[in-house]
Amino acid sequence: MSNYRFLLQYDGGRYKGWEHQPGTDLTIQGKLENVLSKLTGEAVEVIGAGRTDAGVHARAMTANAHFETQLTETEVRDYMNTYLPEDISVREAKIVSDRFHSRYNAVGKTYRYTCYIGETKPVFDRKYVYRLEKRPDLSAMREAAGFLLGEHDFMSFCSNPKMKKTTVRTIDRIDILEKSSYLTFTYHGNGFLQHMVRIITGTLLEVGYGERKPSDMESLLLAKQRALAGFTAPACGLCLIRVDYQ
């Protein structure tokens, strides 16, 4: 039995997220496992590097699965792309060490949140951006983002009140850039909590609109209370860009 590593991209707009959900087959994990089970004739478990939320997209999600097949790596990739929905693509399928685990071996992730600040409607990008009514103050948001860099307890930016594991994470980069009619927030860190990137983005936008001060971010970290942080930005603007491995 070989361990296959997959590099995936998907449009998460119509899915309930990565992970299996009771009562629905509209999950990324479910679609992948269904196709691989047909290929092998046996149940196959697919492990993802993370669990993207409902409506969130990915340009480079890493996953792995153990199974047996006589097909080559390229044939496995092509088989999956033939039978997967058009909004899920396998870019690469490679046999790797049996010890490789897409989640446990990941050392970092990059997420990008995209807002649209143009004057007219973004017809062709409307499913992948959060349209803002006005341009926020980038300088204020960048100042606020500086308080989030480093290792902190991000409980205030986690939507799961029953989180049993540690909510301490490290963010080493937050880039806020404006180009043409688009505003992007790019985050790199060693891991992210449920809705964490979207809550941080919503909170930074509130700073950008003058509803909060940049220094408020420091007190939010200390408070460890989700109710005190900003709104959760819509899922459509969020995309997993890359997963890092050593």
Q: Please tell me the number of Cα atoms within 13 Å of 101 on its side-chain side.
A: 5
Identify the pLDDT of residue 87: 97
> 77 is written with which tokens?
């990739």
Distance CA 12, CA 235 (A): 9
Residue 53 is among the residues annotated as catalytic for this protein: yes
**Closest alpha carbon to 46 in 102, 110, 109:** 102
**Domains parsed from the chain with CATH numbers:** 2-96 (3.30.70.580), 108-245 (3.30.70.660)
User: What is the block-wise mean pLDDT of the chain (246 residues), using blocks of 10 residues?
Assistant: 97 95 92 97 96 96 98 98 98 98 97 96 95 97 98 96 89 97 97 97 98 97 97 98 96
Identify the pLDDT of residue 42: 96
Distance CA 49, CA 69 (A): 23
Selected catalytic residue, list 25, 53, 153, 172: 53
- The answer for 17, left when phi > 0, alpha when psi is -120 to 50, beta otherwise, is left
Phi, psi for residue 130 in degrees, rounded to 5: -105, 115
Identify the pLDDT of residue 161: 83
Q: What pTM, to 2 d.p., does this model score?
A: 0.95
Identify the pLDDT of residue 52: 95
Whether the CA torsion 16, 83, 106, 243 is positive or negative: it is: negative
